[in-house]
Chain A
């Protein structure tokens, strides 16, 4: 739970820091691409066919094919310099940037006499239009003003609109950057020789698509919220080791209180209102998410406030349509002002008094119902790729909606006894809490598996290979043969810890054992069992008692020898 509280603080500080930076440099738009990438349909021959509406170029200027290549080059320029990823679907038909995504969902680029039916005006070169729901971009497109003449060239601005650098600039808008005041940036509204993104532009893109600042963009980062520049991924699944609750992929999870976080990294000032008095038609908002391991869903963290009225928070199973209309597994009523804040207060943590136990692989939903007026704050630059957002007027008829940030804490029923090695059977021969596949001493005989196999030729899975009741390790330390039943260790000499010396460390171990703060293995007990001494020779009585400790102390202090 403390982890989540820390996270909330981090969220708040991130907001301050990011906007402090933005005040002097890059500026972020109100949207972002949840996948960290966008594919553009690039087919200028289809959108601007020869003889109909060809791109308007200077005399002797570039062909349509050359302009198309320049636009694709502009996409690639962002890919090579930033953590956002543009891809292009080439010559496969065009998409109209002017049309709502429900009609034409593709991202596109066109030359046109008007800006989507409206005159450009005398001063406009190009317009980048982006559709988004909540903060989640769904479509973007560039419309180049075909009443202007275009050309392609490098270096100094000649007075003729240069297509490539305007395309780079507009595509910067398309990925979520506004104009910047930083000198030299491609997103500066006045540009000269700048033809590619500069440090300020790259930092802006990173603020949206590399929130953990590890150099890996959202589209490729296997831990979007945890810096992991190595991208180490033992099990090869979608999550890197740094954020994988099951690093070895054996479906047995590693630690208790795993937090599954969605989009809490950078909350923005935008929000989805819901509730009967919120001005929205919807009283319910929800996010579905997968349960990665069997356990108890104990806690939810949410950036929701309720200016008026209570909030009902519940965990539900999914119905047959995959929407949050199933069984209510856990539910809490949160009173406005005491249970849930009345103003935006970052992500708050809520524990369920009766946590739901949920099986791995199950899809569930966190459902928020406003009884009067609540608001769920949204994120910019975070991944929701594993969840889906919904809204509903009555809690039963669910429509697709925005994507909502939250975190869930799951306590796994079983902890992995080998977090880094796949061992779904969880075998543990010596029952020491370390699974056999990652236990360096599987039989707990005091010899490593490697030494048993290569050096002593004993069985690494047998505590006592020769069956003489003495462990292999004890025999090696005592000088007897662990492979011969007739060869057994001699009487103990007081070297309890078997380090080859009888010293104060052995005295302390014996003292702790007698005080009950330490237990002794059979080998340790045998080595310490020196009393009584008869004719200076230890006579084992199968016990470690005060007499044994005194004899060892006398040996350490030089009063006696044996």
Chain B
């Protein structure tokens, strides 16, 4: 018995490579209402920069459901406060052995990922602890010159935070639609928060904002009295 090492093998290998290249990078949220950057910044109880140091999917105590526990090393707290240098967030769903619970279309920060995360309410366990799901999930990557750049969860570079400009455009569009008797769109999330100007891909042709500029933009959306971290420690996803 011989393995077939003919042209079929090469084509199959090539197909796999193309498949991997073609695999969509977009991330999704389920039926989640859209949120703009101002709402995101102001409604998040905690905004922090962190690095994922571990991720594990486990059964709950009753063995009725699966949760994915993602642990972060906290690098910087931009809003609110965290009482420890590491925090663990719990997301519904995940895979244990051959069994998977998919909470449509949950995405999980993966080990090694660095990012800026918006927590809606760290005191409550939520289906997804990130405000607006993937809308409250930004990644930080290094460009070719070693500078930290900010991407959305769907890997689009964040070129600018333009909440007010988008609001004006949106209002104008809405007036135009109403004048033509057209309906509103359902304000469901498309994965990225509103009020962002995004590039097409994570390459250096459109490198996007560096981390410091993005953080400054976030702080600029906060009321002045909220720009310092809270002194009161907040538990994160008590289990």
Contact = CB atoms under 8 A, between A and B. Distances in A.
Interface of A: 5, 8-9, 11-13, 15-16, 19-20, 22-23, 27, 29-31, 98-100, 103, 115-134, 155-157, 159, 162, 165-166, 169-170, 173-174, 178-179, 181, 189-193, 269, 272, 281, 332, 334, 338-341, 343-353, 391, 401-402
Given A9-B11, A352-B1, A272 B22 contact: no
B31 A169 contact: yes
Contacts of A159: 184
A22 B19 CA distance: 11
Contacts of B188: 125, 189-191
Interface in B136-186: 183-186
Interface in B26-78: 26, 28-35, 43, 63-66
Given A119-B126, A121-B126, A334 B3 contact: yes
A15 B19 contact: yes
A450 to B, nearest CB: 48
Contacts of B224: none
A129 B100 contact: no
Contacts of A20: 22
Given A122-B120, A190-B187, A100 B24 contact: no
For chain A, what secondary structure do more than half of its interface residues adopt (helix, strand, loop), or is it mixed? mixed
A31 B64 contact: no
18 contacts: A16-B18, A16-B22, A29-B102, A31-B100, A115-B126, A117-B65, A118-B124, A123-B133, A129-B101, A129-B104, A162-B186, A169-B31, A170-B104, A174-B104, A190-B189, A269-B23, A345-B12, A348-B9
B230 interface: no
B84 interface: no
B234 interface: no
Report which residue of A9, A98, A169, A170 has the largest number of chain B beta carbons within 10 angstroms of its beta carbon: A9
B212 interface: no
B88 interface: no
Contacts of A30: 100, 102
A124 B15 contact: no
Nearest to A389: B98
B125 interface: yes
Q: Which range contains the number of B residues in contact with the other chain?
A: 35 or more
B191 interface: yes
Nearest to B17: A16
Contact of A192 (B20, B126, B186): B186
Interface in B180-239: 183-191
Report which residue of A22, A122, A132, A343 has the largest number of chain B beta carbons within 10 angstroms of its beta carbon: A122
B33 to A, nearest CB: 4
A346 B32 contact: no
A345 B101 contact: no
B116 interface: no
B93 interface: yes
Given A123-B132, A193-B183, A338-B3, A129 B103 contact: yes
A133 to B, nearest CB: 5
Contacts of B8: 5, 8-9, 12, 346
A348 B4 contact: yes
Nearest to B124: A119
A190 B173 CA distance: 15
Contacts of A166: 31
B101 A131 contact: yes
Given A12-B15, A189-B189, A344-B16, A127 B183 contact: no
Given A16-B18, A119-B124, 8 more contacts: A15-B16, A123-B35, A131-B101, A133-B100, A192-B185, A334-B3, A339-B1, A351-B2
B186 A12 contact: no
A121 B186 contact: no
A134 B6 CA distance: 29
A129 B185 contact: no
Contacts of B6: 5
Nearest to A174: B104
A132 B100 contact: yes
A313 to B, nearest CB: 8
Nearest to A123: B33
B31 A170 contact: yes
B113 interface: no
B1 A334 contact: yes
A341 B8 CA distance: 12
A126 B30 contact: yes
Contacts of B20: 269
Contact of B22 (A19, A29, A181, A352): A19
A191 B31 CA distance: 11
A-B pairs, top 7 by smallest CB distance, nearest first, are A346-B12, A156-B183, A12-B15, A115-B127, A173-B104, A125-B31, A123-B33
A5 B4 contact: yes
Nearest to B177: A192
B82 interface: no
Contacts of A155: 183
Interface string B104-134: 1100000000000000110011111001110
Contact of A19 (B14, B19, B104): B19
A8 B14 CA distance: 13
Contact of A124 (B19, B65, B127): B127
A15 B93 contact: no
B156 to A, nearest CB: 12
B47 to A, nearest CB: 15
Contacts of B131: 121-123
A129 B19 contact: no
B235 to A, nearest CB: 15
A13 B187 CA distance: 38
A149 B132 CA distance: 19
A98 B131 CA distance: 22
